[in-house]
Amino acid sequence: MKTLIIFFITFSITMAQTSEISNLYEDYGNYYEKKITKRWFNQHELLYVLDAYNNSQFFRMEQIGKSFQGREIRSYTYGNGPVKILAWSQMHGDEPTATMAIADIMNFLVTNDKYNDFRRFLAERSTIIFIPMLNPDGARLFRRRNAQDIDINRDALRLQAPESRILKEIHRKIKPDFGFNLHDQSPNNTAGKTNRTTALAFLAPAYNSERQINTVRGNAMAVICSINEELQKYIPGHVARYDDEFEERAFGDNFSKWGTSTILIESGGWTGDEDKQYLRKLNFISLLKAFGVIAEGTFHNKDYQPYDEIPENKRLLFDLLLTKINTKFEKENYKIDIGINFERVPDTASGRIFFKGIIEDIGDLGKYYGHQELSCENCYLEPGRFLPEEIAGADEYFRLNYSEALQNGILFANVLDISGIPDYPEFPIVPVASGIGFIPEIRTGLPANFIITSNGKTRFVVINGFLFNPLMGDVNLKNNIFVTK
């Protein structure tokens, strides 16, 4: 009877602690790391934050190796419990959302407040090892691959990259029960065949080509079901299930094969969240929810069948979708849809990410959606026009009356002296280096610069993929692109 009472009290405390995760959604601002607020940051900026924990009583910091270019790679360990959890982020250098969330979680774990019981519970029941920024060389350039141009997540077998060997060795050394493989994906994915952006996509990776489910994989599915239940409170309909095709070279699939219940988290998109700060918050909630469920062990008895009910991760969104627009080619009139997506281009000189709007697809795009959509039923597509006269240089370029020019369908200006005009000017006339013979075209793979007319007058303009009405005077242009060849 005494044993039963002790069990009941312990179980009740455990459930109460895990239920506190919902309160964390409202309290998240207390742990948000304010020194990192943009999606492009380098290792130096991250270590400026993490150095505070090097001699912390709460974390054990260890240098676990160096990147190809000699940058230090660290792990931070919290707790001494029997269940071992390994979470690594930014093995792809341009996928930083979870790295920011890990900084927030570390802030949370050292704070003294009403969640202390939950923190002690995690520390007693689990050992959590964080590897923030596995690929610091790629992060410096905001690119996917490492300095060798190797995709670390396709190097689990050959282990040609030092970063790959570090991850494999720490797995061998600690033999984690659970692994969290933390990534970013395109903001143009949807949760199923809908227009709902995938905020977060999850996967319990297959351990063989038959995609069978054993206890290891089933445990990962059960934890994902718990995370999804929590997230539906905040982002209903915006969680997806990532494709589980077995990839024999990937670390997630191999971790699962090596006996670690692995959970892939892909941070996608959220309207108005270019720097993924809201998705960062959702990572914070998801990971702490998962850590609590794992520590309490309730996943053992949880039905993982709802995992298959999570909508599949689809690629059905364009950044801009124009539908049923009239056009002409070789004297033939017809209607088309145009799908435009932005490439994000890092510029190391400025430390900024610029946009390049590209025509992704043309034709019948009826099954797709757009972050921004415009029906062009009674409108016509035309290439933009050039300013009649060449302009001398930067001073004259930036003095142009762009409002008047755009209303007349003029999108381009030939510039004689290109010095003084940046590669990505924040000005809504496309500068073109004089003499290169540039001819505007509207076809897939090319920059999205054209006009949309109605009754012979300019109705809308698209410059570098950004759509606006010149008559309204509101030019929503993040940046342009200088045409130099």
Residue 330 is predicted with a pLDDT of 81
* Residues 409/382, Cβ–Cβ less than 8 Å: yes
The values of phi and psi at residue 409, to 5°, are 80, 15
pLDDT band at 6 (very low <50, low <70, confident <90, very high): very low
Residue 24 is predicted with a pLDDT of 95
Using DSSP's 3-state secondary structure scheme, residue 249 falls into coil
Query: Is 70 exceeded by the pLDDT of residue 1?
Result: no
Between 2-19 and 277-296, two packed helices, what is the crossing angle to 10 degrees?
A: 170
Residue 351 is predicted with a pLDDT of 86
Residue 17 is predicted with a pLDDT of 56
CA gap 31, 113 in Å, rounded: 11
CA gap 469, 406 in Å, rounded: 9
Q: Which of 203, 256, 207, 245 is nearest to 225 (CA)?
A: 203
CA gap 461, 453 in Å, rounded: 9
Query: Is 90 exceeded by the pLDDT of residue 185?
Result: yes
Residue 45: partners with Cβ closer than 8 Å, 6 or more residues away = 35, 36
Query: Is 60 exceeded by the pLDDT of residue 141?
Result: yes
Mean pLDDT of 441-465: 95
User: Which of 155-164, 275-284, 325-334 is predicted least confidently?
Assistant: 325-334
pLDDT band at 12 (very low <50, low <70, confident <90, very high): very low
The values of phi and psi at residue 339, to 5°, are -110, 125
- Amino acid residing at 419: S
Q: What is the pLDDT of residues 20-32, one digit of tens each?
A: 677 999 999 999 9
Residue 19 is predicted with a pLDDT of 62
Mean pLDDT of 441-462: 94
Mean pLDDT of 192-202: 97
Query: Is 90 exceeded by the pLDDT of residue 470?
Result: no
Query: Is pTM beyond 0.75 here?
Result: yes
CA gap 413, 430 in Å, rounded: 6
DSSP class per residue in 349-376: TTTEEEEEEEEEEEE--TT-EEEEEEE-
CA dist 418 to 165, 356, 396, 449, Å? 47, 20, 11, 20
Mean pLDDT of the chain: 93
pLDDT band at 471 (very low <50, low <70, confident <90, very high): confident
- Amino acid residing at 217: R
Q: What is the pLDDT of residues 65-99, one digit of tens each?
A: 999 999 999 999 999 999 999 999 999 999 999 99
Q: What is the pLDDT of residues 278-317, one digit of tens each?
A: 999 999 999 999 999 999 998 988 899 999 999 999 999 9
Residue 42: partners with Cβ closer than 8 Å, 6 or more residues away = 136, 139, 140
* Residues 18/112, Cβ–Cβ less than 8 Å: no
Mean pLDDT of 453-457: 92
Query: Is 50 exceeded by the pLDDT of residue 8?
Result: no
* Residues 381/335, Cβ–Cβ less than 8 Å: no
pLDDT band at 431 (very low <50, low <70, confident <90, very high): very high
Query: Is 70 exceeded by the pLDDT of residue 373?
Result: yes
Query: Is 60 exceeded by the pLDDT of residue 340?
Result: yes
b vs e for 303-335, b when ≥16 Cβ sit within 10 Å of the residue's Cβ? ebeebeebbbbbebbbbbbbbebbbeeeeeeee
Taking the chain, what is the end-to-end CA distance rounded to the nearest angstrom? 83
% the chain with pLDDT above 70 = 95
Q: Which of 175, 165, 177, 148 is nearest to 73 (CA)?
A: 165
% the chain with pLDDT above 90 = 88
Residue 348 is predicted with a pLDDT of 86
Residue 332 is predicted with a pLDDT of 86
Residue 293: partners with Cβ closer than 8 Å, 6 or more residues away = 18, 223, 226, 227, 299
Q: Which domains does the chain have, with CATH numbers?
A: 14-314 (3.40.630.10), 317-468 (2.30.40.10)
